[in-house]
Chain A
Amino acid sequence: MQIDDRQFEKTIQSKLAGHEADVRGDLWAAIESKLPQNAPQIATRRVPLYRRIIAYSAAAAAVGIVVAVVWWQTPEKPLVTPIANQLSTEGVEMVQPATNDSEQPLIAAATQPQTTHPAPRVAHSKRVTAPETQSLLGHEALAQPANPTTPTQVVAQPEAATSSTAAQKSNNTDADYRRKLDQFENDGRELKESGLTADESTKRKGSGIQIGVMAANATTDKSQNTATAIRTKTPMLLSRRNPVYHFEHRMPISAGITVSKTLPKNWELESGLVYTYLYSKYSSTNGNGSQELHYLGIPLNAVYRFARIKRLSFYAAAGGQVDFYLAGRQKDEGYDEGISGSGYKELKHENVQFSVQANLGAALTLYKQTELYLEPYMAYYFENKSEIHNIWKDKPFNFGLTFGIRTGF
């Protein structure tokens, strides 16, 4: 029987109208894993106020905790000696060295063997012995004395330099002379720190912290160092340091931004940039100190989301991370005999640190693709033959906990 085109189409439509086809059983899981879960997507007015308050409070609390921990971990400013404090209140006139000369003379002074002999009873006087005086100041007001063997002779020499204008301004007493030298040394140290290290600390405190991820190692560690464990740019203190160190490591603090690419079958590939701050305290028979290290890491993790229950999702992840050393310094505190007080020492370049880690995570969807998450993890840090001791070297196998907020775009 011939039918016209219209009838043909009606026949097709009626035949296929109620047609259904079998669907694979696990397809819903794949679809569900890609849905922005349990949060209204457009009509934000539908979100109850209390839920929004809870979500924002949780986010603010997480950021607040991070800020507090980072603030708590930030070391104090260099200690100022009592003499320097006293001088600052007295307003003593100072002869300021040129900024670019502030570091080199210090190193030069450190190389003078006679300046490194400990003399506990005249610790401050020793700073004003002639060789140091000349190299530190380079000023005729404090020119090298002819026979720099005793503090008394040191004081006598500036008195003789009456032709210098600066010398005329300086006091002739032993106490004034020492005081001036102490202040000068203190100022020189401050100049050095302001150029090399203090800025870092200030920047970290002052800048706003934008946190995508926060990680805290739940374990700390103590260790005894080897004799050649520490290298510094300014080995003045190292030369006299007792080489036996006992390290006590604080929790590593990490913060960063991660991005992830959704893959089929509930898989994701995650990477990003993670800053890590390591803080340790060390002690030796001669003195105590602290060590700060800064790293920037690039993680690469494969993530598998295996379950979703309402707003909660659970996942497992495994991968690796490479951490690049950014900066580090040590601060001795007050026990060196000839050079009391505190001083920062920049640490040299360290090798790249590789690690592998695995973790289990739980994420709570706050809003759209924004999640609050908690990840217990275990990580192994490979030996990188670095001479700097840190928690990764002393305790390569770590367990820890990561928590933070992440969002998708």
Chain B
Amino acid sequence: MDEKKLIEACKNNDSRAQRQLYETFARKMMSVCLRYAGNRETAEDFLQEGFIRVFSSIQSYNYEGSFEGWMRRIFVNTALEALRRNDLLRNGVELEALEPQQEADYSAVDRISADELMELIAQLPPGFRTVFNMFAVEGYSHREIAQALHITESTSRSQYTRAKRLLQKWIQELEQ
């Protein structure tokens, strides 16, 4: 069954199509959830909630843009709502006190695997991790991030910069 037929069947609440859609995208969406959750248990909650939302709102998908992108936005929004609800986005780290300002060497990220990168992202504080995911991976602008997370643009920029530095530090430690 091609994607359009699959979507149409899901719009008619065909349970077999729903399961097929789930099996097609579950692993990819789990990766998204893991990046925002930081741990598997929370990621599974996001995944569950996200798929329920997908099937509940699939009638509104009008084939503009890719279906995977539409789904991904639902999962990101699901994660953001949960993080906001639990007030996890305010948990940052004052990095200036922890590390000296140094020349950034971001090329190290090219030398690690995707799984290693995922593990490092998961270890970022929730606020840094969220901004990093939204900006570096999803491609949101700092203005959009600020609106979504109810923070200022400068805070978004600052957290992103610090997240990158922290990642750089951890990658270098990983290579040593």
Q: Which residues of A contact B (CB under 8 A)?
A: 1-3, 5, 7-9, 11-13, 15-16, 18-24, 27-28, 30-32, 34-43, 46, 308, 310
Given that A3-B107, A43-B59 are known contacts, is A12 also in contact with B15, CB under 8 Å in the complex? Answer: no
CB-based contact B117/A15 at 8 Å: yes
Which stretch in B19-27, B75-83, B94-102, B142-150 binds the other chain? B19-27
Chain B residues within 8 Å of chain A by Cβ, number: 41
Given that A16-B137, A23-B26, A31-B22 are known contacts, is A36 also in contact with B56, CB under 8 Å in the complex? Answer: yes
Number of A-B contacts (CB under 8 A): 109
Q: Which residues of B contact A (CB under 8 A)?
A: 11-15, 18-19, 22-23, 26-28, 30-31, 34-35, 43-44, 47-48, 51-52, 55-56, 59, 103-107, 109-110, 114-115, 117-118, 135-137, 139, 164
CB-based contact B109/A28 at 8 Å: no
**Cα distance, A19 to B55, chains bound together (Å):** 23
**Cα distance, A9 to B44, chains bound together (Å):** 26
Determine which residue in A7, A20, A46 has the highest number of CB atoms from chain B within 10 A of its CB, and name it.
A20
CB-based contact B15/A22 at 8 Å: no
Chain B neighbourhood of A9, CB < 8 A: 135-136, 139
Chain A neighbourhood of B26, CB < 8 A: 23, 27-28
For chain B, what secondary structure do more than half of its interface residues adopt (helix, strand, loop), or is it mixed?
helix
Determine which residue in A11, A23, A42, A46 has the highest number of CB atoms from chain B within 10 A of its CB, and name it.
A23
A-B contact pairs, 11 of them (CB 8 A): A2-B106, A3-B107, A21-B43, A22-B27, A23-B47, A27-B44, A28-B22, A28-B26, A32-B15, A38-B13, A46-B12
CB-based contact A23/B13 at 8 Å: no
Chain B neighbourhood of A40, CB < 8 A: 11-13, 59
Chain A neighbourhood of B12, CB < 8 A: 40, 46
- How distant is A9 from chain B, measured CB to nearest CB, in Å? 5
Chain A neighbourhood of B19, CB < 8 A: 28, 32
Partner of A11, one of B23, B48, B110: B110
Given that A8-B164, A27-B47 are known contacts, is A43 also in contact with B11, CB under 8 Å in the complex? Answer: yes
Partner of B14, one of A12, A13, A38: A38
CB-based contact A23/B106 at 8 Å: no
- How distant is B30 from chain A, measured CB to nearest CB, in Å? 4
Chain B neighbourhood of A15, CB < 8 A: 109, 114, 117
CB-based contact B56/A41 at 8 Å: yes
Chain B neighbourhood of A21, CB < 8 A: 27, 30-31, 34, 43, 118
Determine which residue in B11, B31, B44 has the highest number of CB atoms from chain A within 10 A of its CB, and name it.
B31
Chain A neighbourhood of B103, CB < 8 A: 2
CB-based contact A30/B11 at 8 Å: no
CB-based contact B30/A23 at 8 Å: yes
**Cα distance, A40 to B12, chains bound together (Å):** 5
- How distant is A192 from chain B, measured CB to nearest CB, in Å? 58
CB-based contact B13/A20 at 8 Å: no
- How distant is B98 from chain A, measured CB to nearest CB, in Å? 21
CB-based contact A12/B13 at 8 Å: no
Q: Which residue of A lies closest to B160 (CB)?
A: A5
Chain A neighbourhood of B106, CB < 8 A: 2-3, 5, 7-8, 11
CB-based contact B31/A310 at 8 Å: no
Q: Which residue of B lies closest to A24 (CB)?
A: B44
CB-based contact A20/B28 at 8 Å: yes
- How distant is A363 from chain B, measured CB to nearest CB, in Å? 14
CB-based contact A20/B48 at 8 Å: no
- How distant is B165 from chain A, measured CB to nearest CB, in Å? 12
- How distant is B171 from chain A, measured CB to nearest CB, in Å? 11
Chain A neighbourhood of B105, CB < 8 A: 1-2
Chain A neighbourhood of B34, CB < 8 A: 21
Chain A neighbourhood of B109, CB < 8 A: 8, 11-12, 15
- How distant is A17 from chain B, measured CB to nearest CB, in Å? 9
- How distant is B54 from chain A, measured CB to nearest CB, in Å? 10
